[in-house]
A and B are shown apart, each in its own frame.
Chain A
Amino acid sequence: MPPGLKGGRFLLLLPALAFVFLLFVYPFLYGLFLSFTNPAGSPTLANYARFFLDPWESRTIWVTLWIAVPATLINVALAIPFAVFMRHGIRGEKIITFFLIVPLTLGTVLVSEGMLTYMGPNGWLNQLLQAIHLVGKPVRFTHNYTGVLLSLVIQGFPFAFLMILGYVSGINPDLEKASQMLGASRLQTFSRVLFPLMVPGIAICFCLNFVMAFSVFPSAMLLGEPSGPTRVVAIAAWQWAFEKFDFNTASAISMVMAVIELIVISAVLVWRNQMYRGASMVGKG
């Protein structure tokens, strides 16, 4: 047993463990149990069959991936240059960071409502685009795939940016100078030093952003077309639970969601380990 867990000190962990058990482990196990039983309580695979054999249900996986993967890629891809540019701090950094964090603090529903007005057919954005003759008639930014994607970027980008910024600014600036002194251009320094060192942070950032995007619900309802093109897995689960009151099938759908998220996370972590072997080496500094 590690020294930290000896004797009475273990007791200090109990409240936290109880919390995790009651709010996470128990509901999860209960959901797992529900997903493999019928309402009468006898074991069955019918819940999963109902999801996978009905194309209307099973296609939600692809619908969700089609939204979540591009949204996550955009967020991470945008966050990397911003974070690299601001890694040593720039003038006005506080103001920029403030505006980036605002969408995070407002909450999904408020941002979605705001987007509905601002980006709607008669919203400011369309009026502006028409005024400068960039478009002839209003562009549809809401109640479709674009709306959901935009909302996920607006909500997810600040998060990705802050995470990656934290990671990049932790990289010893002497490494960049060393690379420069060894003859590397700025681009070479980025591709050979900064980027490889950022990989672990990018991987974690991608995972968290993906999980958030994959479980998208409010913006898919408010800004998308929940009746079809943006009927994501979460909406399917919600409909089974609260429209059809079939908690067993709803649980099965949640489990499918969890498994897909785990698969994507594992894939990303495998990529990270291949990119960055040095970090996993343990030793004295």
Chain B
Amino acid sequence: MKDFTQFVVRNVTKEFAGKTALSDFSLTISHGEFVTFLGPSGCGKSTALNCVAGLLPITRGEISIDGDPIDDGRKKVPPEKRGFGLVFQNYALFPHLSVFGNVAFGLHIRKLPRAMVRDRVLAALRLVHLEGHEGRFPAQLSGGEQQRVAIARCIVLEPRLLMLDEPLSNLDAKLRVEMRNELLALHTRLKVTTIYVTHDQQEALALSDRIVVMRLGRIQQVGTPQQVYSDPANLFVADFMGFKNIWEGELESVQERVGGLDAQIGVSGLRLRARLSYPEGDPRRAALVAASRGDRKVSTAIRPEDICLGRNPDGSSVRAQVSLVEYQGQSSFVTARAENGMTIELKPAAPVRMADALELAIPAEKMFVFAGGKD
């Protein structure tokens, strides 16, 4: 099927019996891009995927390829005519067909000559390192091998869009990393436009050109892995991307400067400083300025890795006592309770023991502040 240059999803909404599973989903995907839908279960990422695949009709909005609509909420091109490939979470291999039969399925449907089917199936199996397994049946394969067959079954048809729905979530930790690397190698080699669905931020960061973070059917942030990881658009994205220290507080003062803001936040009697690089026009900046004139409720977010032992350059520090030490090999994951009662999670460079009294620096330039409380 004809390849495309732009795949556009515009304001797509999907309702199930009056409940909105996906709302105003808009996204443009360019040819060859690897895009990941990331979010916790129930965030709408699988719904979005099924709408794109055509397995679910959309309620409103439009999905189009190079300007030609394939679903506008009234008429849709059926999934079998879209030329997309989908790898299912449970692989969905046909148990009554051999590995060869599974991979050849789509080619048989297209009534290709026998010799060509054979060549293409064997080439696809070579690509996923399964040569010699043609005669086996799915029940005789390990989870990883089944996964490879599922991928081969899709790519043998040279889909113009490859979709993978949590493809690694049924594999054990070691295999998951291996398959992740293979997927990356495969994408680099085939350059096939890919939509990948996962709840695992590591996978999303490792694989994607762009990540779409979702929550409750809405897009929270679209950006490169670097943007999503180091510049979260809101508290939810921060929380999801590993900003484990989230404290609610009161915005005591905020000062606008070129390219950012300086804020002081009171958290249960403790004063924290934040040097935020929210440029002019950034919605986070406008929301904070508005909050300073309103209820002053804000939340701060900082990663455990960014909290250090010692004092800030201005001499300020937070005193806390270690309440939990979780050994993780390279470092330890430490939970400490501050004097004001708040819980601080950190990954200290030096070893600490239970009940140790710590003096902690919370760097102002690593802090994020968002208007509003937790949920």
User: Residues on A close to B: CB < 8 A?
Assistant: 172, 174-175, 177-185, 188, 192-193, 196-197, 276-279, 281-285
* Given A178-B86, A183-B109, A276-B96: A283 and B137 interface contact (C-beta under 8 Å): yes
Contact of B157 with A174 in the complex, beta carbons under 8 Å: no
Contact of B139 with A181 in the complex, beta carbons under 8 Å: no
Contact of B80 with A197 in the complex, beta carbons under 8 Å: no
Contact of B92 with A196 in the complex, beta carbons under 8 Å: no
How many angstroms between the C-alpha atoms of A207 and B88 in the bound complex?
Answer: 35
Chain B residues with CB under 8 Å of A196's CB are 96
The distance from the CB of A275 to the nearest CB of chain B, in whole angstroms, is 8
Contact of A181 with B95 in the complex, beta carbons under 8 Å: no
* Given A174-B88, A281-B140: A180 and B97 interface contact (C-beta under 8 Å): no
* Given A178-B88, A197-B95, A279-B96: A183 and B140 interface contact (C-beta under 8 Å): no
How many angstroms between the C-alpha atoms of A251 and B78 in the bound complex?
Answer: 61
Smallest Cβ-Cβ distance to B50: which chain A residue: A177
Total interface residues on B, CB under 8 Å, equals 32
Chain A residues with CB under 8 Å of B105's CB are 179, 182, 184, 192
* Given A174-B90, A279-B95: A183 and B139 interface contact (C-beta under 8 Å): no
Selected from B55, B138, B153, the residue in CB contact (under 8 A) with A182 is B153
Contact of B85 with A181 in the complex, beta carbons under 8 Å: yes
* Given A172-B90, A180-B79, A183-B80: A278 and B55 interface contact (C-beta under 8 Å): no
Selected from B84, B108, B110, B140, the residue in CB contact (under 8 A) with A181 is B84
The distance from the CB of B51 to the nearest CB of chain A, in whole angstroms, is 13
Smallest Cβ-Cβ distance to A200: which chain B residue: B96
* Given A178-B86, A181-B79, A184-B109: A284 and B92 interface contact (C-beta under 8 Å): no
* CB of B142 closer than 8 Å to a CB of A: yes
User: Residues on B close to A: CB < 8 A?
Assistant: 53, 55, 78-81, 84-86, 88, 90, 92-98, 105-106, 108-110, 137-142, 153-154, 157
Chain B residues with CB under 8 Å of A197's CB are 94-96
* Given A174-B92, A181-B84: A281 and B106 interface contact (C-beta under 8 Å): no
The distance from the CB of B276 to the nearest CB of chain A, in whole angstroms, is 45
Contact of B106 with A182 in the complex, beta carbons under 8 Å: yes
Contact of A278 with B137 in the complex, beta carbons under 8 Å: yes
Chosen A-B contacts, 29 in total, with CB atoms closer than 8 Å, are A174-B92, A175-B92, A177-B55, A177-B92, A180-B55, A180-B80, A181-B55, A181-B80, A182-B105, A182-B154, A183-B80, A183-B109, A184-B80, A184-B105, A184-B106, A184-B109, A185-B80, A192-B109, A197-B95, A277-B137, A278-B94, A278-B96, A278-B98, A278-B137, A279-B95, A279-B96, A282-B139, A283-B140, A283-B141
Known: A177-B55, A181-B84, A284-B139. 9 other contacts (CB 8 A): A179-B105, A181-B53, A182-B109, A182-B154, A184-B80, A197-B95, A278-B137, A279-B95, A282-B139
Chain B residues with CB under 8 Å of A174's CB are 88, 90, 92
Query: What 7 A-B pairs come out closest when comparing CB atoms?
Result: A182-B106, A174-B92, A178-B92, A278-B96, A283-B140, A283-B139, A181-B86
Chain B residues with CB under 8 Å of A192's CB are 105, 108-109
Contact of A175 with B94 in the complex, beta carbons under 8 Å: yes
How many angstroms between the C-alpha atoms of A192 and B106 in the bound complex?
Answer: 11
* Given A181-B79, A181-B80, A182-B157: A188 and B140 interface contact (C-beta under 8 Å): no
How many angstroms between the C-alpha atoms of A16 and B203 in the bound complex?
Answer: 54
The distance from the CB of A158 to the nearest CB of chain B, in whole angstroms, is 28
The distance from the CB of A80 to the nearest CB of chain B, in whole angstroms, is 17
Contact of B157 with A278 in the complex, beta carbons under 8 Å: no
How many angstroms between the C-alpha atoms of A278 and B137 in the bound complex?
Answer: 6
Chain B residues with CB under 8 Å of A284's CB are 139-140, 142
